[in-house]
Amino acid sequence: MLDKSVMILHTVARQPCNLGELCDVTGLPRATAHRLAVGLEVHQLVARDEAGRWIPGPTLGRLAATARDTVREAALMVLPRLQESTGESVQLYRREGADRVCIAAVEPPTGLRDTVPEGTRLPMSAGSAAKVLAAWSDPDTLRSLLADAAYSERSLAEIRRRGWAQSVAERAAGVASISAPVRDASGAVVAAVSVSGPVDRMGRRPGDRLSTDLVAAADAISARLKAPAQI
């Protein structure tokens, strides 16, 4: 049963699957595949997308986050200050295939929030963090992402020039966000740091007010990654 469950996890990690697709790929009997997938869903090792297909669940992200993650550790030294200076929710995202995963988050202590728990998987098709992670992707990855994206090569070129991205009501109605790239010691973009909150509070051009604080936070995280002894 363990081997079959692991096979299901690998299968849904490659692409979302309904029951029929899961059986076709794994070769498992329908009853067995359903029983194991539902069991994994109970423990949040798999979840369902809007179409009812199984996808990797938030527990996988939380388990991965418990291992030493220098990017996450560096961010957690900076994100609380960013949250205080902006008054909004802040997150750190990493791209995993066609998804972005929240690997760190800090929420305001009170008031209306845009809560994205650690381990949450969101599509790379929309949202300011998705744009940042796409903008600095390799050409092959970028081509695959653009097929289903709300952004274009032209808009990503502007993001690379400006150094940050913003979105309004792309990921969820009534939510605005702004994101900037985090770079490792080699200069490669390894994550996106974001500030998000209600459009009524963030405005329809959140970059006008928040880009300075956000880019400073992204640079601070990147600086820590270039000097690991400071983490």
Compute the distance between CA of residue 41 and CA of residue 115 in angstroms, rounded to an integer.
22
CB contact set of 7 (below 8 Å; sequence gap of 6+): 26, 28
* Among the listed residues 195, 200, 194, 188, the one whose alpha carbon sits nearest the alpha carbon of residue 225: 188
| Across 33-42, 52-61, 133-142, 152-161, least confident range | 52-61
pLDDT of 67 > 80? The answer is no
Which pLDDT belongs to residue 114? 64
Residue with tokens 């595949």: 33
Q: What is each CA distance from 67 to 28, 29, 50, 70, 230, in whole angstroms?
A: 32, 35, 30, 10, 19
pLDDT of 18 > 80? The answer is yes
| CATH fold match for the domains 2-56 and 68-230 | no
DSSP H/E element including 163: none
Task: Assign domain 68-230 to its CATH architecture.
Answer: 2-Layer Sandwich (3.30)
**Pick the residue with more confidence: 158 or 231?**
158
Q: Where are the domains of the chain?
A: 2-56, 68-230
pTM of the model: 0.69
Residues 73-87, mean pLDDT to the nearest whole number: 93
pLDDT in tens, 156-194: 999 999 999 999 988 788 899 999 999 998 899 999 999
SS3 content of the chain, % helix, strand, coil (to 5): 50, 20, 30
Which pLDDT belongs to residue 111? 62
Which pLDDT belongs to residue 65? 57
Which pLDDT belongs to residue 192? 97
* Among the listed residues 126, 112, 207, the one whose alpha carbon sits nearest the alpha carbon of residue 171: 126
Compute the distance between CA of residue 193 and CA of residue 189 in angstroms, rounded to an integer.
11
Alpha carbon dihedral 115, 104, 78, 133, in 10-degree steps, equals: -100
Across the chain, mean pLDDT equals: 89
pLDDT of 230 > 50? The answer is no
DSSP H/E element including 104: strand 99-106
pLDDT band at 147 (very low <50, low <70, confident <90, very high): confident
Which pLDDT belongs to residue 231? 42
Give me 199's structure tokens: 């459009």
| Across 111-115, 131-135, 149-153, 195-199, least confident range | 111-115
pLDDT of 214 > 90? The answer is yes
Residues 25-30, mean pLDDT to the nearest whole number: 94
SS3 (DSSP) at 48: strand
Residues 142-161, mean pLDDT to the nearest whole number: 91
The CATH fold of domain 2-56 = Arc Repressor Mutant, subunit A (1.10.10)
Which pLDDT belongs to residue 64? 64
Share of the chain above pLDDT 90, in %: 61
